[in-house]
Structure formats: structure tokens, C-alpha cells
Structure 1
Amino acid sequence: MSKKDFTEKELKILSQNKYVNSVTFKKITYTNEFKLLLIAAHDNGKTTKQIFEECGFDIETLGMIRIKAAGKRWRRTFKEEGVLGLDDGKKLVNKKTVNKSLTLKEQNSKLEAQVKLLKAENELLKKIELLERGMKIKK
């Protein structure tokens, strides 16, 4: 967590960004879409700072330390755990409960969630590829 607190004005501006899930005076939570976009764009040679700027974030408001740390953390998590590792909802699960045996219904539910997330990731990657080629995106 950063030592810099956001002001009321900064909170309002940040909360209007489509890549922000939530923001408090001390913490900002980004969408999974943004995390995946950052990873894909970084792999294509863009810096973390460039990606944040292109997505409408003010670098001075967030601070370079927060930006670099977030990018580094997401890339490491993605490498180690894949797409599901980036999902903030996974942090709500106690690690002890992950090791217990799941019922068939729970396994099915978990696999369906993985499929849904992978489909969303594929769509995002398609959009990024189209944007890089300069094509219009169909909605």
C-alpha cells in the first residue's frame, strides 16, 4: 500500500475511470480487464507508465512507485498462477479451503468460472490485436 493518500478530487477522477473497480483514500483496485491489458501491452514492448497513461490515469496522482509495483506484481502473478491469479475474488478464499476435496458441483462451478474468465481474456486479446492493427472493434 502506498504512503500517498488520494484527495477527494483524485478519488472522484479515479472512480470515473473504466479500469477502476474501487478506490479509497489509500487503495485503488483495478479491473481484471486492465490487468490483462497491461500484461499484453507490456509483452508487446510498452512500458507500464505508457500503458497507465494511455488508459487515462494521471501518473502524478498514482505515483511511479505504485504504478511500477502494480505492473510487476500482476506480471509475476500471471506468470505463476495464470488469469485466475489476477482475480481479486480469489483472495477471499482461505488457502486451507482450497486444499479440501471439492464436491462435483463445486468442481463444475469452478471450471465454469475458469472457462468464462478464459473466454473474457481471449476477447480482450482479440480487441488488443485489432487495436494494434488499427481496425475498428465490433460491439
Structure 2
Amino acid sequence: MSHRIFSKQEQQILIKNKNVLNVTSKSITYHPDFKVKAVKKNLLGISPKSIFIEADFNLDIIGKKQPYRCLDRWRRAYKENGEKGLRCDLRGKKVLQKV
């Protein structure tokens, strides 16, 4: 997670992006469809920065490293659980495994 704090004005700009589900002062919740498309594009060799710029994200607002952090996390989720791993956000939630 970024240490970036989004102002009210920045939050209003971000929430207008069709690829964003929710924004708080500390986090952005990205649309699952965007995550899937972004990972697939990235696996084809398109850079995280290009993917986010093409999706109308202002890197001055979200941070220049944020696309790389997101795609790194999303690629791992995709590798472990496929598209389902990108559509179900389990960060911060304890997952119980059957023994």
C-alpha cells in the first residue's frame, strides 16, 4: 500500500475513472475487469505505466510507482488463482484452509 494521502479533490478525480470502484484518502479499489485486462496486457509485454496511462490514470495523483506495485500484486494473484484471484479481493482477510 502506498503512503500517499489523497485529497478530497484527488478522490473526486479518481472516482470518475470507470476503472475505479472506490477511493478513500488512503486507498483506491480498482474494478476487477480492469485488473484482468491490465494483467493480460502486461503479460503481453505492455508496461504497467502504459496500461495505467491508457486507462486515464494521472500518475501525478496515484504515484509513479503505483502501476508497478499493482501489477506485481495482480500478477501473483492471477498466477495463483486465475481471474478469480483478481475478482475476489482477500487482502487483509484471514483465509481459513481446510486441514
Q: TM-score, normalised by structure 1?
A: 0.64
Shift of 1:7: 1.0
Correspondence 1:35 to 2:35: yes
Q: How far did 1:89 drift?
A: 4.7
**Counterpart residue identity of residue 16, structure 1:** K
Cα RMSD between the aligned structures? 1.9
Higher RCO (CA-CA < 8 Å; seq separation 6+): 2
Structure 2: unaligned runs, 5 residues or longer: none
Query: 1:12 Cα shift?
Result: 0.3
1:79 paired residue number: 79
Which of the two has higher C-alpha Rg?
1
* SS of equivalent to 2:61: helix
Runs of 4+ in 1 over 3 A off after TM superposition: 88-94
Displacement of 1:92 in angstroms is: 8.2
Partners of 2:87 and 2:98 in 1: CA distance: 19
CA apart distance, 1:18:
0.5
1:69 is matched with 69
Question: What is the TM-score normalised by the length of structure 2?
Answer: 0.88
8 Å contact 1:84–1:90 — kept in the other structure? no
Output the CA distance in 2 between the equivalents of 1:43 and 1:57: 20
Separation in 2 of the partners of 1:93 and 1:62? 24
Aligned mates of 1:40, 1:24 — CA distance in 2: 27
Aligned to 2:98: 99
Superposed counterparts of 1:24-63, under 5 Å: 24-63=24-63
Identity of aligned residues (%): 33
Q: What is the CA-CA distance between 1:90 and the residue it aligns to?
A: 4.6
- State how many pairs are aligned: 99
Aligned partner letter, 1:83: E
**Structure 1 unaligned residues grouped into runs of 5+:** 101-139
CA distance in 2, matches of 1:41, 1:11: 26
CA distance in 2, matches of 1:48, 1:89: 20
1:61-84 deviation per Cα after TM superposition (whole angstroms, max 9, x unaligned): 111222211111001110111111
Matched residues in 2 for 1:94 and 1:8: separation?
31
